[in-house]
Structure 1
C-alpha cells in the first residue's frame, strides 16, 4: 500500500492547524506503517511520536467488549444472566411513560436487564441528546456521558444512575454509551478485581499492547475542543488521565497508541484474539430489527452495534465503507476501523475533539479507502 496520500493529508491538516498533532497507523497486506505529525500542544515544540499515547475516548469500547467476551469464553460470565445479580442498584427500576416525560411519569420495568443488554446497549439507559427532564437529571447527577470519564466512584455512580428512570424498557430500545460503563462495574464485581488488572491479564498483555491503560504519568498531548477563538483546552497534559481514576471506564476511559489500537482491530480481523475469544462472537450482530432501527438513528443507516462493543457495517452507505467493516470513532478525535474485504486496518488519533456529526474523519477514510480499493 502506498501511504503517501494518507500521510500527506495528515501533514496538511497539522500544517493548517486543524490538529496540533496526530498519529496514524495503517496495516495492509501484513505491513504496518505508523506516521506521527505535529506537536503535543498548540505552539509547543515537543513532537508527537509514534508511541505518544492519546485519550482514545470511545475507542475504549472494543477493548471492553473483548474483555467481557473473554470472561464469557472462560465460563466466568453468563451473558444471559440477570445483571441485577451483581448490580442490585438496577433492580425494580421505573421506565419513562414516553421519552420526554417528567421523571415522575413512569411505569414499572417489565424485566431486569441482562449482561447481554449491557454489552449491546439495550438495557434502557444511555446518552440523551435532547432537553428532556431525564437528560437534565443525568447531567445534573454526573451520570451523563461526556468528554471525561465519570469522576465518581463506581458504587456512587451506579446508585445515582439506578435512581433515575430508564428511557426504554430493557431489551426494547438502544441507547449509546452508558451500558458500557455499567458493564465495567459488573465485570469488576463479578471477578472482584480492578478492570485495569483484568484488561492487562486478558487483552492488552497477551496482545503485547504496552501503551494501553487507564492513566499514565507521562505527559499526554493537550486535549482541545474547537471554540470561537480557536482550540480551547479541555484536559491539560497532567490532567484527568495523569493519575489513577476514580472510575475505570470501559466506555471511554483508556489512553492508547495508534499501534496498539491497530493491533487490537488487526487481531479481531485475523481471528487471533487471546483467551478463546472468537472474532465471530465479537462481530456478531445481536440486535433485533427494532433495536437496530433505534441504533441507526445514532450510528447512521446500514450499520449495527456488534457484541464486541463496536460498529459493524451491514450495507455500504458511504463511498469508503464495505459490508463487514468494523471499528468506531471517539469524541476526542480518534477513529479506527478494519475493512477485511480490503485487508485494511487504519487508525487516526488526534487531540482535537469533534464538534458534531459533520466534523469527523470522513476525508481520512476516503483517502485510506482509495489507497487500497
Structure 2
C-alpha cells in the first residue's frame, strides 16, 4: 500500500502516528483484539496504512492484502446497487415493497401471540416502502436482538442462517408470514431490511445478487478481493475470527474451515461480504468522489447527495426513533440516510467530526467513515464479535480528527 506524505495531505504526522501506537498498546498488547488494519485517506491518497497482531491462531501475521469478514459494511454496497436500479427507472424509493415482493402484500403489525400461541396482527398504517428498507424503518427485526416474540420467531425458523434451508426467495416467503414489530415509517429498528433489499435487486435486475455486485460495482471499481465466497486460490489470505470472552477471545470461525470458503445458500446483502482494506477504500473513494472513481461512474453525484441526507421522518434522530436493543450507530446527533448513518449534529454526538459525515460498521468490529467536508476517509478492519464491546470507533475518530492540521 503506497502512502503519501502525511504533512502534505494536511495531517500533523506525530499526531497521526499516535494511531498505530494506540491500537498496538491498547488493543493488541492487552489482548482485546487479535489484530487490526487501519487505513486513513485524504482524497485519493493514503495518509496512513498500518497493521498489527496475528491473522490466525497459529501466529500468521496480518498481511497487507488480508481478507476480512466485513458483515454489515455489506449494507452500503447493497444500497448503492439498489440506487443504480432507481437511476434506471426500474424501481422508486416510494414504491411499496410488495410491488416486487408480493409475499409482503398482506403483512401485518404484531398485535399479540408468539411461541405456542398463533400471532395476531393488525393492518399496517401504510405499506412498507423501499425507503423503509434503506433507512431501517420497515418494521422488520434481527433474530439476535432477543427482545420480542417476533425476533424469537426469526431464531426458531433460523431465518438468518446463510447455509441453512432458505435461499433469498425462501427467506422472503418466510418473512412474509411473520408480523412486523411496528407499522413502517413509525420507528427505527436495525434489521434484515437490507437482506430484503437484496431480494428486490435480484428480482428487478434478473441477476443473482453476487453476479450483480460483481458486474456493476466490483469490476468497475477494481474491487477484485470482495465477494460472498472466498475463491479457493485466496483462502490463504483469510484470517480467523474470534468472539469476545471476559478472559480472552475464543474462536468463532477458523480460516481453514471458514463458512466463507463455501457458497452460501442465502446471499446476505445485509452482512455477507468479505473484503480487504484496500478494496473498501476504493468503495469509500467512490462515495467521496460523488459516485465516481477514475473513469468508473457508479451512481450520479445527485444520488450520493440524496443518500447521505437524513431520511428519518420529520428529520428526527436515532435517539428519537430507535427501538433497537442493538445498533451499530452512535445514536446521539445521528440521522439515517439511504444505507448509512449520517452525522446531523456534531455537538450532540460528542465526537469530533463534520456535519454530513456518513458511516457504518460491521458485527466483527470493522468500521468506515466518509467525511466530504474534510475530504477524509477511514477503513478499520479487525475480527472480533460483537462490535459493541469496546469504544474503538469513537476512539479512532477522535484520534484521526485530532491529527488534522
- 1:321 aligns with 353
- 1:335 aligns with 367
Equivalent in 115, 130, 134 of residue 119 of structure 1: 134
SS at match of 2:299: coil
Residue 312 (str. 1) matches residue 339 (str. 2): no
Q: How do 1:268-307 and structure 2 match up within 5 A?
A: 268-273=287-292, 274-278=297-301, 279-289=304-314, 292=317, 293-295=320-322, 298=327, 299=329, 300-307=331-338
Q: How do 1:197-216 and structure 2 match up within 5 A?
A: 197-216=211-230
Equivalent in 274, 280, 283 of residue 261 of structure 1: 280
Asked if the contact 2:68–2:382 (Cα under 8 Å) also holds between the matched residues in 1, the reply is yes
After superposition, give the CA deviation of every residue in 1:156-175 in whole Å (9 maximum; x if it has no partner): 22222111110111222222
SS at match of 2:403: helix
TM superposition shift of 1:313: 0.3
- 2:3 aligns with none
In structure 2, how many angstroms separate the alpha carbons of the residues matched to 1:29 and 1:371? Answer: 16
- 1:180 aligns with 194
Specify whether residues 271 and 131 from structure 1 end up closer, same or farther in structure 2 by C-alpha distance, changes over 3 A only: closer
After superposition, give the CA deviation of every residue in 1:102-148 in whole Å (9 maximum; x if it has no partner): 7634212234322222122222112373442222112111236xxx7
Moved more, 289-298 or 178-187: 289-298
Q: How many residues align?
A: 368
Q: How do 1:126-145 and structure 2 match up within 5 A?
A: 126-127=141-142, 129-143=145-159
SS at match of 2:341: strand
Moved more, 71-80 or 311-320: 71-80
- 1:88 aligns with 102
Moved more, 26-35 or 309-318: 26-35
Moved more, 99-108 or 52-61: 99-108
- 1:18 aligns with 32
In structure 1, how many angstroms separate the alpha carbons of the residues matched to 2:245 and 2:205? Answer: 43
Specify whether residues 10 and 226 from structure 1 end up closer, same or farther in structure 2 by C-alpha distance, changes over 3 A only: same
TM superposition shift of 1:150: 6.7
TM superposition shift of 1:352: 1.3
TM superposition shift of 1:255: 0.6
TM-score by length of 2: 0.84
Moved more, 50-59 or 94-103: 94-103
Q: Which runs of 5+ in 2 are unaligned?
A: 1-10
SS at match of 1:206: helix
TM superposition shift of 1:290: 7.8
Asked if the contact 2:309–2:356 (Cα under 8 Å) also holds between the matched residues in 1, the reply is no
TM superposition shift of 1:88: 1.6
Residue 60 (str. 1) matches residue 74 (str. 2): yes
Q: Which runs of 5+ in 1 are unaligned?
A: none
Specify whether residues 189 and 284 from structure 1 end up closer, same or farther in structure 2 by C-alpha distance, changes over 3 A only: same
TM superposition shift of 1:311: 0.8
SS at match of 1:125: coil
After superposition, give the CA deviation of every residue in 1:259-290 in whole Å (9 maximum; x if it has no partner): 12222122212214323333212213222138
Asked if the contact 1:37–1:49 (Cα under 8 Å) also holds between the matched residues in 2, the reply is no
In structure 2, how many angstroms separate the alpha carbons of the residues matched to 1:70 and 1:295? Answer: 28
SS at match of 2:385: coil
TM superposition shift of 1:360: 3.9
Asked if the contact 1:80–1:116 (Cα under 8 Å) also holds between the matched residues in 2, the reply is yes
In structure 1, how many angstroms separate the alpha carbons of the residues matched to 2:20 and 2:152? Answer: 42
In structure 2, how many angstroms separate the alpha carbons of the residues matched to 1:334 and 1:202? Answer: 24
Moved more, 251-260 or 127-136: 127-136
